[in-house]
Amino acid sequence: MTDKVRDVIVHYHIFKNAGTTVDAMLHAAFPETNGAVEGKYPWDTLTSQELLDYILANPKLDVVSSHQARLPLPEHPGLRVHPIVFLRHPIDRVESVYHFERRQPADSLSPSVRIAQSTDLKGFVEWGLSDEGTAVFRNFQTIHLSGREKDMRSARATNADYLVASARLRELPFVGIVDRFEGAADAMQRNLRFAFPDIEFSVGTALNRSENRAPRLSSRLAHMASLLGNTVFDRILNENRLDLDLYSQAASLSLNQK
């Protein structure tokens, strides 16, 4: 007789990719068995082994959420991990990141908070694209999924990182797209039902969302272009070419999810 395999949902919470809303849905579905793990500093990352150690040290958890945990999935003979990953159009992330950072405490350790609170969106983007800028909107999703870089203050994506991130994306049983959130939530629920047959998600109001943003992605991108001007907008497109390709791939994969 074999031991029962433990099923655990891991939400790889990519910054400003509707993660607060996803976490709220998971917490509502698993109010007593919901946990989170992060590193010491905002720019830290956690390895697959560190995530596994946390899961094994907390045997009653059904759900673990982390901004800093990185793929590949942790492996253990008594464990079956169900990953949740949401991707977002990388340029759409930028304005959301800016407004989020402006709302943070002024004494935050994150270097981008100080810049966001002292300049306008264009200035914030110009800083982000400078040598002093962090990885916050420079192929951040490629960096996250590839997992090679360990310090998000200085991380920069390479073509090799994209190939790793792309391969990992194709291996995921589920990938959500932020601007198709309602359909993604339905697909997420269907994907988890075989392990958690009673799971029910209620898609309510999006949380931690910037106010007064246009509902259509195309309108938001046009608004960004008008605020940044052609030169800066073209630069940020170029700095996110890997994320743009990764997003397109994720969008195609999401259409074929059962």
pLDDT value at 218 more than 70: yes
pTM: 0.93
Q: What is the mean pLDDT of residues 211-240?
A: 92
Amino acid at 100: F
Whether 1 is in a domain gets the answer: no
Helix axes 121-128, 217-239, angle to 10 degrees: 30
Whether 18 is in a domain gets the answer: yes
Number of domains in the chain: 1
Task: Identify the sign of the CA torsion 132, 136, 142, 147.
Answer: positive
DSSP states of 23-91: HHHHHHHSTTSEEE---SSTT--B-HHHHHHHHHH-TT-SEEEESSB-SSPP--TTEEEEEEEEE--HH
Torsion of CA 37, 51, 157, 185, to 10 degrees: -70
Cβ–Cβ contacts within 10 Å for residue 166, how many? 18
Q: Tell me, what's the pLDDT at 1?
A: 44
* CATH code at position 26: 3.40.50
Whether 103 is in a domain gets the answer: yes
Q: What is the mean pLDDT of residues 121-135?
A: 94
Domain that holds residue 18: 6-255
pLDDT value at 140 more than 90: yes
* Distance, CA of 9 to CA of 195 (rounded, Å): 10
Q: Tell me, what's the pLDDT at 111?
A: 85
